[in-house]
Structure 1
């Protein structure tokens, strides 16, 4: 899951070397945190959050086989 988010984010930003993705697994949830360069924040979020919603949709769809709740944080 981490690799999926990282590859999507690196394709969107101007500073792909500054993309950091971390995962934190709990009992019933997986939290994925995406950090990008400050200048790229708008590119990852998009107008009215559309790109962030699209990334979340892809991550949720990829995680449907798991019995865990997946949360994506962008910051």
Structure 2
């Protein structure tokens, strides 16, 4: 069984949701017990990525977490969306 490239998966899920897909950047950070992926898009695309009451973001996180390797020593995957508030 092959391992899923999480960054490619995130890019393929997020790109159709955006008005400006060329501005999409995904940064990976391995910290502690997580493989953390930070999704950065233009400010006017953030709402499209989060969705009403966070439903789209929650669905994306569910899919990404489900795609990770199930080995016992595998780190969990965390998907963060930069919402430009900070």
Same fold per superposition (TM over 0.5): yes
Is 1:72 the equivalent of 2:56? Answer: no
User: Moved runs in structure 1, 4+ residues, more than 4 A?
Assistant: none
TM score, norm. by length of structure 2: 0.80
Runs of 5+ unmatched residues, structure 1 = none
Aligned length: 75
Question: Relative to structure 2, which stretch is displaced further, 56-65 or 37-46?
Answer: 56-65
Gapped regions of structure 2 (runs ≥ 5): 1-5
Question: Counterpart in 1 of 2:67?
Answer: 62
Report the Cα distance in structure 2 between the residues aligned to 1:74 and 1:30, rounded to whole angstroms: 14
Partner of residue 47, structure 1: 52
Larger radius of gyration: 2
CA RMSD of aligned residues (A): 1.3
Structure with a larger share of its residues in helix: 1
